[in-house]
Amino acid sequence: MMERAAVSGALMELLDRQREPSAEEVDYRPFPDIDRRNAWQETLELPALVWALGLREGCRVLEVGCGRGVALPVLARLLRPKRFTGLDIDGALLRHARSRAQGLAIDLLEGDVRGLPFPEASFDLVVDFGTCYHISRQVQALREIARVLAVGGRFVCETRASQLLAHPVRSWGRRLPWHGVPELVPERHALLWASRVKWGR
C-alpha cells in the first residue's frame, strides 16, 4: 500500500511539473530564430495585426519580450510611434534587436515584464507576442502591463489559438489569467490576436 502511494505521489508530482514548468525553464528558454517564421511575421502577420485591431499611429508604444527585435522595425514603420520602447530580460537577444533597430528611434532596455521600469500611465499601447504565456507569475506581469498603460490604452497580445499554432507543445494548456487584471477589458478579437482596453475614470 505504501509503495502504491509513493508511486501515485511521484506520478502526481510528474504531472504537476508538466503543467507548471520551473521558473528557469519558463524564463530562460527563448524560441528558436527561424528565418521563414521571421519573414512571415514581418510581411504578413504584423500588417494584418495592425489593420485587424485598428491600431492608431502616434502612440507611446511598448513591446514586452521584444527578443531579437523582429517586430520592432515593422511596428515603427506602421505605427510611427511618438515614443517606442522594446524590453526583454535576455541581454543576448537585445543585442540582435539593437542591430535590427539601428537608425530607428527605439529605446531598448533589459528588464522584466513583472517589474517594468516605467511610471504609471507611461504608454498608450503595449504589445506582447506571447511572452506572458511562457513565464511564471503571469498575474504579476499582467498587472505591471495594466499599471504602465494610460486609461484608454490598449494591450495587444496573441490569442491561445495563435500560441497553439506557433508552439503546440510549449503552449498546450496555457492561458492568461485575466481574472487578475479586471481593469483590462476585452475590446477586439481577430482570431490570432486580441486587444484589451484599460478601463478607468
Confirm whether 15 is domain-assigned.
Answer: no
Confirm whether 132 is domain-assigned.
Answer: yes
Contact between residue 126 and residue 149 where contact means Cβ atoms under 8 Å apart: yes
Which residues, including other chains, have CB under 8 Å from residue 140's CB and lie 6 or more apart? 114
Confirm whether 193 is domain-assigned.
Answer: yes
- Residue 94: give its domain's CATH number: 3.40.50.150
Contact between residue 60 and residue 118 where contact means Cβ atoms under 8 Å apart: no
Phi and psi at residue 95, to the nearest 5°: -65, -40
Contact between residue 164 and residue 57 where contact means Cβ atoms under 8 Å apart: no
Looking at residue 163, its pLDDT comes to 73
Confirm whether 150 is domain-assigned.
Answer: yes
Confirm whether 186 is domain-assigned.
Answer: yes
Confirm whether 138 is domain-assigned.
Answer: yes
Q: Among residues 126, 128, 185, which one has the least CA distance to residue 162? A: 128
Q: Indicate the pTM of the whole model.
A: 0.80
Contact between residue 51 and residue 137 where contact means Cβ atoms under 8 Å apart: no
Cα 36 from Cα 13, distance rounded (Å) = 38
Q: Among residues 124, 132, 130, 127, which one has the least CA distance to residue 148? A: 124
Number of domains comprising the chain:
1
Looking at residue 191, its pLDDT comes to 85
Looking at residue 5, its pLDDT comes to 36
Which residues, including other chains, have CB under 8 Å from residue 99's CB and lie 6 or more apart? 69
Looking at residue 59, its pLDDT comes to 97
70 DSSP assignment: S
Looking at residue 8, its pLDDT comes to 38
Contact between residue 116 and residue 96 where contact means Cβ atoms under 8 Å apart: no
Looking at residue 38, its pLDDT comes to 60
The number of C-alpha atoms within 13 Å of 180 and in the hemisphere containing its C-beta is 15
Residues of the chain whose pLDDT is less than 50? 1-28
Which residues, including other chains, have CB under 8 Å from residue 12's CB and lie 6 or more apart? none
User: What cell was used for 140?
Assistant: 504579476
Domain hosting 119: range is 36-198
Confirm whether 66 is domain-assigned.
Answer: yes
